[in-house]
């Protein structure tokens, strides 16, 4: 599809036996582990690592929403297609699609808001601006992904029974 930005695919694994639940498929908590690992790899891709963290700060996930779309079984090869939907000096808005095997349709999605956090003069964590080169890398990737057509689930919360 022309004009649609390609995701970055920088994380993958094989589903180990301990990720399976009593229903014989990947347990919900392990989806969070998989998406967390994909987010960590995104940060590495953007230039984040121990030297940056020691000098400038870290990231906290402030909000996340996972949608479970299809079952995943032990031994499946999974990977994350990742888009940076938005970035500013203090925030990253991330979308992951968890892909199993060769099927391009996601088995799950995760949307998250990550905050850049540094320590104030008293050592307390506080939201603050990213430093270079991480800031420019983030803004550039978000700009490259800006033409992604909005998915119907992005920016929404859990449906209410009220």
List the domain range (segments joined by +) for residue 59. 8-144
Decide if 1 is inside a domain. Answer: no
Contact 93, 155 (CB under 8 A): no
Tens digits of per-residue pLDDT, 105-117? 999 999 999 999 9
- Give the whole-angstrom CA distance, residue 162 versus residue 148: 32
Decide if 151 is inside a domain. Answer: no
Decide if 155 is inside a domain. Answer: no
Decide if 2 is inside a domain. Answer: no
Query: How many domains does one find in the chain?
Result: 1
Given the structure tokens 């919900």, which residue do they identify?
28
Decide if 160 is inside a domain. Answer: no
This prediction's pTM: 0.92
CATH code, domain carrying 106: 3.10.129.10
Output the CA–CA distances (angstroms, integers) from residue 162 to 75, 155, 158, 159, in the order listed. 40, 20, 12, 9
Decide if 152 is inside a domain. Answer: no
Decide if 154 is inside a domain. Answer: no
pLDDT confidence tier of residue 2, bands split at 50, 70 and 90: low
Decide if 3 is inside a domain. Answer: no
Tens digits of per-residue pLDDT, 25-84? 999 999 999 999 999 999 999 999 999 999 999 999 999 999 999 999 999 999 999 999
Which DSSP symbol is given to 89? S
């Amino acid at each position: 599809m022309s004009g649609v930005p390609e995701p970055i695919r920088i994380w993958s694994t094989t589903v180990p036996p301990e990720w399976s639940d009593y229903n014989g498929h990947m347990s919900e908590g392990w989806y969070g582990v998989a998406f967390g690992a994909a987010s960590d790899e995104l940060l590495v891709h953007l230039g984040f690592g121990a030297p940056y963290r020691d000098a400038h700060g870290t990231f906290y996930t402030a909000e996340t929403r996972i949608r479970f779309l299809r079952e995943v079984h032990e031994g499946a090869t999974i990977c994350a297609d990742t888009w940076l939907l938005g970035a500013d000096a203090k925030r990253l808005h991330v979308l992951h699609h968890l892909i199993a095997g060769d099927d391009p349709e996601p088995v799950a999605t995760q949307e998250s808001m990550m905050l850049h956090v540094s320590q104030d003069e008293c050592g307390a964590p506080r939201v603050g601006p990213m430093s270079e080169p991480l800031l420019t890398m983030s803004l550039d990737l978000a700009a490259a992904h800006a033409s992604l057509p909005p998915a119907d689930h992005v920016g929404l919360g859990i449906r209410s029974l009220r």
